[in-house]
Structure 1
Amino acid sequence: MSSLRESFERASLPALTYISSLPRFVPFLAILGLVIAGLLIPGWGWVLIVLVVLLLAWIGALAWPRLSMPERMMRVAVVVMMAAIAITQAVPRG
């Protein structure tokens, strides 16, 4: 019987295989493009930032067991910061 973690890793394998086959700069530019578009598009741009938050959380969850404590804290800080940006974009001050 496989654990939940093994199932998660197995389900993620096709996507990770595809991402790792891309040139290294492509995933970085994709994330950067989503963040910039999310910041610049009024109204629904926050949805793009939420997508970035989900992608970063997914990658962080996969890497979590192999990370040191400072690396874990940095990953959590980035996800929390991006989530705060998404919330700020989704609920603007009136």
Structure 2
Amino acid sequence: MSSLRESFERASLPALTWLSGLPRVVPFLFVLALVVAGLLVPGWGWVLIAVAVLLLAWIALLAWPRLSVAERLMRVAVVVMLAAIAITQAVPRG
């Protein structure tokens, strides 16, 4: 199982290196912009939120071994909440 994790981390290394070169606020603002735009764009805005969910889940998976239980719960809650919003927008009720 650790080799799967190591290969995941190795595959993510170029993107993480690029992200670490940005100012710390830029990734946050990018995810925030995706979510806000996803909420404001009618119809296909859920796709933007789904992209934000994937980005946040990717970062959470990379950081998972170093997180405390409370930090893990917070990250899972944010990802689940945004996924629920995306699903609600993608499949509106009648």
The TM-score with structure 2 as length reference comes to 0.95
Q: What's the counterpart of residue 37 of structure 1?
A: 37
Q: What's the counterpart of residue 57 of structure 2?
A: 57
1:10 to 2:13 alignment: no
Q: What's the counterpart of residue 47 of structure 2?
A: 47
Q: Provide the rounded CA distance (Å) in 1 between the counterparts of 2:64 and 2:25.
A: 23
Code of the aligned partner of 1:41: V
Code of the aligned partner of 2:5: R
Q: Provide the rounded CA distance (Å) in 1 between the counterparts of 2:17 and 2:64.
A: 18
Alignment deviations for residues 62-89 of structure 1 (CA, whole Å, 9 cap, x no partner):
0000111111111100100000110111
- The offset of 1:16, in angstroms, is 0.4
Question: What's the secondary structure of 1:43's corresponding residue?
Answer: coil
Code of the aligned partner of 1:67: L
Q: Provide the rounded CA distance (Å) in 1 between the counterparts of 2:10 and 2:75.
A: 22
C-alpha RMSD of the superposition: 1.0
Q: Provide the rounded CA distance (Å) in 2 between the counterparts of 1:24 and 1:66.
A: 19
1:19 to 2:6 alignment: no
Q: Percent identity?
A: 81
Matched residue count: 93
Code of the aligned partner of 1:48: L
**Runs of 5+ in structure 1 lacking a partner?**
none
The TM-score with structure 1 as length reference comes to 0.95
- The offset of 1:92, in angstroms, is 1.6
- The offset of 1:93, in angstroms, is 2.2
